[in-house]
Chains A and B, each alone.
Chain A
Amino acid sequence: DGGITQSPKYLFRKEGQNVTLSCEQNLNHDAMYWYRQDPGQGLRLIYYSQIVNDFQKGDIAEGYSVSREKKESFPLTVTSAQKNPTAFYLCASSIGHRGETQYFGPGTRLLVL
């Protein structure tokens, strides 16, 4: 089955710790995205990647980092510089980056201990 997966479903972070959220897709999509969703707010774009080995900052990139070494994978690292990391993180992918439908993963909820 083709799809987009995220892991883990829940992640706990200690103060000062970096954590990495996984996002994998087997849809052969070129573009991938990371969003953050906070209660009562819409999605906010953290980073996006239009093609392998390339990525751009979104609206709220500070405190986050990404890599795109493989087409299938777009991991997001929440660094210790992100002062308010508690949120629901969603990964998405699309065939291209010009307004095609984005397919969303199931999300990862990050909690700070």
Chain B
Amino acid sequence: EDKVVQSPLSLVVHEGDTVTLNCSYEVTNFRSLLWYKQEKKAPTFLFMLTSSGIEKKSGRLSSILDKKELSSILNITATQTGDSAIYLCAVEAYNNNDMRFGAGTRLTVKP
């Protein structure tokens, strides 16, 4: 059965720290992996990754996909309190067009 596992489930850091969030998956006919930031209602799209080894970067956030290891990491450098959120990982598959979400990582950044 397809599944997406995120770790850790929760993380507490202080401002300025660097964090790494993990997402591993077992999905048949992998198409893409997406990262979202969820603060209030709707998750905000961060990255879509389809190719292994190519880092995507947006400000202090970056992400990379490792298709061999069936995983992705999301890095946040110089964290700020505004980074506090739940970070969701989702994986799309070609065959049945499913989109599977992980349980999320709750990040808390303390001043």
Interface residues of A (CB under 8 A from B): 9, 33, 35, 37, 40-45, 48, 58-59, 88, 90, 97-99, 101-104, 106-107, 109
Contacts and interface: CB of A to CB of B under 8 A. Distances in A.
Contact of A43 (B36, B39, B100): B36
Given A101-B86, A102-B38, A42 B43 contact: yes
Contacts of B100: 106
Contacts of A58: 41-42
15 contacts: A41-B45, A42-B34, A43-B43, A43-B45, A44-B42, A48-B41, A88-B97, A97-B41, A99-B85, A101-B103, A102-B86, A103-B101, A104-B90, A104-B101, A107-B97
Interface residues of B, number: 24
A42 B41 contact: no
Interface of B: 34, 36, 38-45, 48, 85-86, 88, 90, 96-101, 103-104, 106
**Chief secondary structure at chain B's binding surface:** strand
Contacts of B41: 33, 45, 48, 58, 97
Nearest to B31: A39
Given A101-B104, A104-B101, A106-B98, 18 more contacts: A33-B41, A35-B42, A42-B36, A42-B45, A43-B42, A43-B43, A43-B45, A44-B42, A45-B41, A58-B41, A90-B99, A97-B40, A99-B38, A99-B86, A101-B103, A106-B100, A107-B99, A109-B97
Contacts of A35: 42
B27 to A, nearest CB: 13
A10 B97 CA distance: 10
A99 B42 contact: no
A106 to B, nearest CB: 6
A102 B43 contact: yes
Contacts of B44: 42
Contacts of A98: 40
Nearest to B10: A101
